[in-house]
Copies of this chain bind each other. A is one copy, B any other.
Amino acid sequence: MPFVNIRITKEGATKEQKEKLIQGVTDLLVDVLGKNPKTTFVIIDEVETDNWGVGGESITELRKKQ
* Contact across chains for B56 and A32 when beta carbons are under 8 A apart: no
**A52 to nearest B CB, angstroms?**
5
Nearest-neighbour CB distance to chain B for A33, whole angstroms, equals 6
Contact flag A1-B59 (CB < 8 Å), given A32-B21, A42-B53, A53-B42? yes
> A62 CA to B12 CA in the complex, in Å?
23
Copies assembled:
6
The number of chain A residues touching the other chain, given as a range, is 35 or more
Nearest-neighbour CB distance to chain B for A66, whole angstroms, equals 12
Chain B: minimal CB distance from A58 (Å): 6
Within the assembled complex, what's the spacing in Å between the Cα atoms of A44 and B28? 14
Taking CB atoms, residues of chain B closer than 8 Å to A7 are 2-5, 43
